Amino acid sequence: MKKSANPLLRIDLQRWRMRVVMILLFGGFAALTARATYLQTWQTDFLNKEGGKRANRVVEIPAHRGMITDRRGEPLAISTPVESVWINPQEAQATPQQIQALATLLDIDPDELRRDFSDKKKSFVYLRRQLPPEIATSITALGIKGLSTTPEYRRYYPSGEVMAQVLGVTGVEDRGLEGLEFVYQSWLEGEPGAKRVLKDRLGNTVEDLELLRLPKHGRDLTLSINLQLQYLAYRELADALTRNQAQAGAIIVLDVRSGEVLALVNLPAFNPNNRTTMTRGRSRNRAVSDVYEPGSTMKPFLVAAALEAGTVTPETRIDTGPGWFMVGDKRIADVHPKGNLSVAEAIMVSSNVATAKIALDMKSEDYWRLLNHVGFGAQPNAGLASEASGRLRPYASWRPIEKATMAYGHGMSVSLLQLARAYAAIATDGILPPVTVVKRHEAPVGQRVMSIKTARAVRDMLELVTQEGGTAPQARVMGYRVAGKTGTAHKLVEGRYAADKYIASFVGIAPASNPRLVTAVMIDEPNGTQYYGGLVAAPVFSGVMTSALRLLAVPPDAPFKSLTTEPMEAVGEAT
């Protein structure tokens, strides 16, 4: 009989197979137990290390930039918390409904969003930077796999376009790109901290494990700017540009005792909170970076140099003849002939002929030396971005006609900041103060650039300019004595003087008896019925200086009487 035909033998074979299977199963369990025991006993450190690589992460704790404030603590630039949204396309998964909802929250094209999700070659893609926290919360609530948010900071400027060119802007990485944000980047920027966290496989933070380094926030920066005065200057300048149909303008208010810039306004401007309004022309700090021929505002320095050299006195008489004279084949002329003038009267009526004759009678070196000492041809070093040096050529290269025209501000270029600082030397009895846009806590040590006698004599002459018969009676301020000088110069366009384009300016000092402030005003291309500095820029000075003196509670030094005056024609400053 065959064994296969015996039922008992078939039952024994089934039992043998069962035993083999059981032995294999128990053997496998024994091997797994032995392996687990080995790994957990002798390979603990290795396993912990490998597990940590997959779950433990060191993440950055962002640090915000320091705040920028005005001299009274009013915030000018602050950092606000925002969120940036990003995905890992290799892990990201989203339904069509989630894509549509996310596109709506991010305000982007759904098709573009789908392309970002489908690009599996990338492991990191920003969807949107610097979103408000409430929008980021709504996005997280969609529950999209592979989508994460990162906390960041965004700069906000409460004063908007009023301080735009001075402060500048930061980029999406919170680094300064323009203005003071750029200049003081190392001061304002913070150092991010770090912490170790436990994350799940989707990248979500499960637990904070260890604080590795605390974030170090940026240091605050206190400016010398008085925001109230800044707003007042902005309003006056904006009104003047509208009234005179001008292309641009700038104002600087300088405290001559401390050298601090109390207001610095440029127009047109832009809103730093809305970068779509930011263009190259609007973002430029004209008062600091743009240079122009200053025109007759240079005449006080020519006279100061002549007084220092002993060439003239305030009473020296100068015959202006028919109102013009020739230097070589070039004609120097006044708008109207003024006959015989004293030096003081020449400043009062802004005579080109008189000041040119003074210049020709003195050494070029004497005039150049004073211009150099008061800061022309060098950066003011006020702590602002893109400070211009201007142009002051060596005196050895001056030809007679150039020497004559430089008496009334042609053949050289200056910035409005340089001009304001130079007038501060006249206001402080001959000491040139170091200027700054950062608040000072101690009085600075200036440099003497002219004698007390010369500075006071020039200041007395400048006070005549704002009286009846001078070129700027509209610069007067009720209750205060004002000294100043007008300037009206043809604008250089492609290397040539444009016949119908002007830059009108006025720089003034108040109170003249005990100076506290210098205010410089520049109006670029006034296109209204008037273009003279005494009619265009002087009224702006009056409005700003009136507000500034009262805001700073500066004691009056003149009777309070009506300043009503008939608009007068400028009498010789057009050059």
Measure the CA–CA gap between 552 and 547, rounded to whole angstroms. Answer: 9
Angle at 249 between CA 247 and CA 253, to 5 degrees: 175
Measure the CA–CA gap between 493 and 256, rounded to whole angstroms. Answer: 34
Q: Which two tokens stand for residue 265?
A: 């306004």
In the chain, count of helices (H) and strands (E)? 20, 19
* Nearest Cα to Cα of residue 572 among 331, 323, 294: 323
What would the 3-class secondary structure string for 169-235 be?
Answer: CECCCCCECCHHHHHCHHHHCCECEEEEEEECCCCCEEEEEEEEECCECCCCEEECCCHHHHHHHHH
| Nearby residues of 362 by Cβ (< 8 Å), 6 or more positions away | 305, 306, 309, 311
Measure the CA–CA gap between 512 and 506, rounded to whole angstroms. Answer: 15
Measure the CA–CA gap between 518 and 234, rounded to whole angstroms. Answer: 16
Taking a C-beta distance cutoff of 8 angstroms, is the pair 387, 289 a contact? yes
Q: Which two tokens stand for residue 12?
A: 């024994």
3-state SS, residue 272: coil
- Per annotation, catalytic residue among 296, 350, 364, 415: 296
Measure the CA–CA gap between 244 and 530, rounded to whole angstroms. Answer: 7
148 is catalytic: no
* Nearest Cα to Cα of residue 419 among 266, 288, 281, 263: 288
| Nearby residues of 369 by Cβ (< 8 Å), 6 or more positions away | 305
How many CB atoms neighbour CB 497 within 10 A? 14
Active site residues: 296
